[in-house]
């Protein structure tokens, strides 16, 4: 089964959405559970049974995992996964430094580009997954900006901004923001429209960049930019006829957990997945963690005594050697009050033994 997780990681480099189907088949004669995992991307849905295809299509729209029971009494866990969105910072100046740190802290794989060796180096950006010291004219062949990326242009000058914007615009990233005063931005946009660039696409650029919170220092400006990026990630604008915002659902999985599951090491682990939630809980549907028999863990479903309780159940299940179960974690009422919990919701979690 580790090959399926390996394939998933490869697929996510090429495709925006992939669904993993985990089937739990109980053999009547032995009462043993056989686990089968398979992957289906959006462009492969035509090959799937009609009933299941409709379920998967709805799953991709909702963006959240689902646990179903089929007519023949099979249990299937369906999980949508998304291409990892990079935070690409074009420019390595004062704002880029806290921006890279905050971006890494909230889970982005950060790439920083600058053409000055003193600004583009790993010592300056230890949190970054990639630091490129290259000209803004030539770096985009290596970057290969894709639609799941978040791009921030914070170069040191008008000319470099224009170079970056010309190249990034055609890639249609999830987010594209550019620093600059209203006057500077207006002049640059007029220049690019005069060159024949798509005015509609230029109007979608977040500029001046960042939420209006009165930010002054580089750290404050970086916070305002990250707040805007989070807003774009978690909220989406509807059409002009209905300009209200709506929540964008997206599975809350951890890439570090997936990378561990893709390793070749044959080692019994319990995978814990948050399948659904009601109310206020620390992690959303799709959050995963791994528990080993010796108590080690990776990832989190929210921490605290609720996570500890689920971990104990997972270790007990590991002792049996195989199988799966569902568990409801209630963080409401007197239990939450006694523990001083900020959250007060309910989570349904799914525990499976892997491999």
Residue 272 forms beta bridges with which residues? 289, 351
Range in 12-21, 106-115, 163-172, 281-290 the model is least confident about? 12-21
What's the pLDDT band for 178 if we cut at 50, 70, 90? very high
pLDDT at residue 315 tops 90: yes
Find where tokens 């707040």 sit: 227
Residues in the chain: 355
d(CA 196, CA 209): 23
d(CA 346, CA 197): 50
Q: How much of the chain, in percent, has pLDDT values that exceed 70?
A: 89
Q: What does the mean pLDDT of the chain come to?
A: 84
Q: Closest by alpha carbon to 175, among 218, 238, 102, 237?
A: 237
pLDDT at residue 184 tops 90: no
pLDDT at residue 247 tops 90: no
Q: Which domains does the chain have, with CATH numbers?
A: 2-82 (no CATH), 86-237 (3.40.50.720), 255-354 (no CATH)
Torsion angle of C-alpha atoms 257, 263, 266, 267, degrees rounded to 10 = -30
Cβ neighbours of residue 35 under 8 Å, at least 6 residues apart?
A: 1, 22, 23, 24, 25, 324, 352, 353, 354, 355
The predicted-structure confidence for 64-94, as pLDDT tens digits, reads as follows 898 888 777 788 899 998 877 799 999 999 9
Range in 11-20, 145-154, 174-183, 200-209 the model is least confident about? 11-20
What's the pLDDT band for 61 if we cut at 50, 70, 90? confident
Give per-residue burial for 239-255: e unless 16+ CB within 10 Å, then b: eeeeeeeeeeebbbbbe
Highest mean pLDDT among 207-211, 259-263, 331-335: 207-211
Given this model, what pLDDT does residue 338 score?
Answer: 52
The predicted-structure confidence for 194-218, as pLDDT tens digits, reads as follows 888 888 888 889 988 999 999 999 9
Find where tokens 């009547």 sit: 28
What's the pLDDT band for 320 if we cut at 50, 70, 90? confident
pLDDT at residue 332 tops 50: yes
Mean pLDDT of the region 106-118: 93
Cβ neighbours of residue 21 under 8 Å, at least 6 residues apart?
A: 37, 38, 39, 40, 76, 77, 78
Cβ neighbours of residue 218 under 8 Å, at least 6 residues apart?
A: 94, 95, 97, 98
Mean pLDDT of the region 29-42: 79
Mean pLDDT of the region 13-26: 81
d(CA 76, CA 88): 37
**Residues 249, 255, 257, 262, CA torsion sign:** positive
Given this model, what pLDDT does residue 90 score?
Answer: 97
Q: How much of the chain, in percent, has pLDDT values that exceed 90?
A: 36
Mean pLDDT of the region 225-239: 77
How many helices (DSSP H) and strands (DSSP E) are in the chain? 11, 16
Task: Tell me whether residue 217 is exposed, middle or buried, using C-beta atoms within 10 angstroms of its C-beta: 0 to 12, 13 to 18, 19 or more.
Answer: exposed
pLDDT at residue 331 tops 90: no
Given this model, what pLDDT does residue 78 score?
Answer: 92
DSSP letter string, 255-314: HHHHHHHTSS----EEEEEEEEEESS-SS-TT-EEEE-TTS-EEE-SS-HHHHHHHHHHH
Given this model, what pLDDT does residue 344 score?
Answer: 65
Q: Where are the alpha helices (DSSP H) in the chain?
A: 2-14, 50-62, 96-105, 140-143, 158-169, 182-194, 199-203, 218-234, 255-261, 304-320, 333-339
What's the pLDDT band for 242 if we cut at 50, 70, 90? very low
């Amino acid at each position: 089964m580790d090959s399926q997780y390996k394939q998933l990681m490869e697929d996510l480099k090429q495709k925006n959405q992939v669904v993993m189907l985990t089937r739990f088949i109980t053999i009547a004669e032995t009462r043993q559970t056989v686990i089968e995992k398979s992957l289906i991307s959006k462009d492969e849905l035509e090959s799937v049974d009609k009933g299941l295809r409709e379920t998967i299509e709805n799953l991709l729209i909702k963006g959240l995992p689902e646990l179903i029971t089929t007519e023949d009494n099979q249990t299937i866990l369906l999980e949508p996964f998304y291409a990892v969105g990079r935070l690409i910072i074009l420019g390595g100046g004062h704002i880029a430094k806290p921006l890279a740190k905050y971006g890494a802290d909230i889970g982005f794989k950060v790439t920083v580009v600058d053409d000055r060796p003193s600004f583009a180096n790993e010592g300056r950006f230890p949190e970054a997954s990639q630091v490129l010291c290259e000209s803004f004219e030539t770096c985009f062949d290596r970057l290969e900006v894709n639609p799941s990326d978040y791009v921030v242009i914070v170069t040191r000058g008008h000319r470099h901004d224009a170079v970056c914007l010309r190249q990034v615009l055609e890639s249609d990233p999830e987010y594209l923001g550019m620093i600059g005063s209203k006057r500077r931005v207006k002049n640059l946009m007029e220049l690019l429209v005069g060159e024949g660039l798509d005015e509609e696409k230029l109007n979608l650029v977040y500029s001046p960049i960042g939420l209006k919170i009165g930010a002054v220092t580089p750290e404050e400006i970086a916070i305002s930019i990250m707040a805007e990026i989070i807003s774009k990630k978690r909220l989406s604008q509807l059409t002009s006829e209905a300009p209200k915002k709506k929540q964008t659902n997206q599975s809350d999985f951890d890439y570090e957990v997936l990378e561990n599951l893709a390793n070749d090491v044959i080692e019994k682990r319990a995978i814990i997945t948050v399948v659904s939630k009601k109310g206020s809980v620390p992690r959303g549907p799709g959050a995963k963690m791994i528990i080993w028999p010796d108590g080690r863990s990776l990832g989190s479903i929210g921490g605290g005594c609720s996570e500890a309780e689920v971990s104990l159940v997972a270790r007990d299940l590991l002792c049996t050697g195989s199988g799966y179960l569902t568990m409801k974690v209630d963080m409401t009422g007197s239990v939450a009050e006694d523990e001083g919990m900020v959250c007060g919701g309910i989570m349904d979690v799914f525990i499976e033994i892997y491999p």
